[in-house]
Amino acid sequence: MLRDRGPRKIAPTAHWLAGKAAELDGRTADAERHYERAVSVDPSWDEALEALARFASDRGEAVRAIGLLDRVEGAYREPLYDLLQMFLPVNRPDLGRNDRCWCGSGRKYKACHLGKAEHPLEQRAGWLYQKAGSFAQGIEWRPLLISLAQIRSSHDDDPFALYHALDDPLVADVVMFECGAFARFVAERGVLLPADELLLAQQWLLAERSVHEVEAVRPGEGVTLRDVRTGDRLEVTEGTASRQLRAGDFFCARVVPAGSTMQIFGGIEPIEPGQRGRLIELLDSESTDPEDLVEFLSARFAPPRLVTPDGHPMVACRAVFEVSDTAGIRRRLSRRFGAADADRWTWTEQGSVLGVLNLARNTDPWVLEVEAMNEPRFESLVDAVGAADPGARLREQTRTPAAELMAQAQENVRSTHPVDPEDPAIATALYEHIRGYEQQWLDDSIPALGDHTPRECAADPTRRDDLIRLLDSFPQEERPGAMSVRRLREALGL
């Protein structure tokens, strides 16, 4: 109605709106026709010129795409403009427009390769990925993009974190593949792609995100990978990451064919040994939401979370009660927690200390101090005190997160008289302390080992490599007050 009944100056807007509607409806040919009409009425209609440049880029027509963008003020600053510069065709001054094309197709040069990229497919793979990425920035994918970017940036206090996350490689790749934008791109824009790029795009639809182990590295050239889920070995061309990866590293990525090579698009997410099992479960499950995947892979940005063995956040909790019925409270606490040691009760279960209660007799009235390292345990102790002496009065209570305690401890270590580790008495104390800690570590559940103990992993051939990699990541030099990797290896038979 706008086009047919409105004044002529409305026609470009009408055609552009019709083009956008056709794009959203998947009618690519109709959309391009409307954009062409908008430009024919108003040659400076920027939005239509930019849309036509994307269509030309999809076809591999770098010269036409750049020509259209050159008509838009400031378009040379756009990433697409720089990308197109890399795929300008090599001029063939020896051929006229109506001469037979150099490629042997039998067609005229102007209808075949004039103004089109002549680069091998492995070089154009990045261009193909960018074409799909531009499509996935469309308005219908915007809510998904923002939702995943919010998850990705949730651990970052930077006020611009969400803005940066909108360009995060993982976020864009999940929108394209797990959310279906790439499949839509192939279905709707595949008619524009060069034939070899369309075939490549269809192959990418079959490539799954997976967990890969780095077996060998050729810095600046590529890496040899083993797909942990399938066992396949892949030779991957990768310039930047190959300078940072090392043999034995694990990461999550989508490895795809690209002409005669294998390449990685969508970022590389490092994976700790203890995360691999859960991540493989997420990737294998058909019911995994894209949000769950991004949340799992973004957890590495979260600040360290100190927890007690039962999984609750570590919080130093302390309460002081004034008690009146000292004889009764002694009897009831001993019945609940076992016999006291000099009016001190220790709550233990399966060899672990869960809390401490201490009755102080040098005050009037007497006070009972209660301590625990997480809030559920602390609440249990407070309830136990109330049951043992209903008349007990809470005098004070503190709950301090472990991270805050650690920060305070680091401030307090700045002693004006530093400890001399060469002092024989101090050296002996350090040695005895660290040997005891090493023995405890051998039988502790280690998150990096999938919550298995080092001894269990040493005895299990399927987990021994994870243990060796963990030990290799420790400082190898012998230092006073630090665990000795040599002694740990000896104790584990490694």
Q: How confident is the model at residue 416 (pLDDT cuts 50, 70, 90)?
A: very low
| pLDDT for position 127 | 94
In the numeric block, which tokens belong to residue 198?
């369309």
Long-range contacts of residues 178-182, Cβ cutoff 8 Å, at least 24 apart: 178/209, 178/290, 178/293, 179/141, 179/144, 179/290, 181/132, 181/135, 181/136, 181/141, 182/132, 182/136
Q: Per-residue pLDDT for 426 more than 70?
A: no
Asked whether residue 432 falls in the same domain as residue 382, the answer is no
Instruction: Report d(CA 194, CA 60) in Å as an integer.
Output: 7
Residues, the chain: 494
For 77-92, what is each residue's pLDDT tens digit?
888 899 899 888 776 7
| pLDDT for position 415 | 43
For 327-339, what is each residue's pLDDT tens digit?
888 899 999 999 9
Asked whether residue 323 falls in the same domain as residue 391, the answer is yes
Asked whether residue 404 falls in the same domain as residue 431, the answer is no
For 220-236, what is each residue's pLDDT tens digit?
999 999 999 999 999 99
Q: Are 241 and 212 in contact (CB under 8 A)?
A: no
| pLDDT for position 425 | 55
Q: Check: pTM over 0.85? Answer yes or no.
A: no
* 143 within a domain of the structure (yes/no): no
| pLDDT for position 153 | 93
Instruction: Report d(CA 83, CA 20) in Å as an integer.
Output: 24
Residue with tokens 């992993």: 457
Q: Per-residue pLDDT for 101 more than 60?
A: yes
For 344-356, what is each residue's pLDDT tens digit?
999 988 777 888 9
Instruction: Report d(CA 291, CA 144) in Å as an integer.
Output: 9
| pLDDT for position 370 | 93
* 107 within a domain of the structure (yes/no): no
Asked whether residue 187 falls in the same domain as residue 288, the answer is yes
For 154-208, what is each residue's pLDDT tens digit?
988 888 889 899 999 999 999 999 999 999 999 999 999 999 999 999 999 999 9
What domain range is 49 assigned to? 1-88
Asked whether residue 365 falls in the same domain as residue 403, the answer is yes
Q: Per-residue pLDDT for 414 more than 50?
A: no
Instruction: Report d(CA 414, CA 143) in Å as an integer.
Output: 50
| pLDDT for position 7 | 83
* Proportion of the chain above pLDDT 70, given as a percent: 89
Backbone angles phi, psi at 89, to 5 degrees: -70, 155
| pLDDT for position 256 | 96
Asked whether residue 297 falls in the same domain as residue 325, the answer is no
**Domain termination site, one of 88, 113, 148:** 88
| pLDDT for position 419 | 45
**Domain termination site, one of 72, 88, 104:** 88
Give the domain CATH number at 15.
1.25.40.10
Give the domain CATH number at 223.
2.40.50.140
In the numeric block, which tokens belong to residue 489?
């290896």
Question: pLDDT averaged over the chain?
Answer: 86
**Domain termination site, one of 57, 88, 119:** 88
H or E segment and range at residue 462: none
Beta-bridged to residue 233, according to DSSP, are: 226
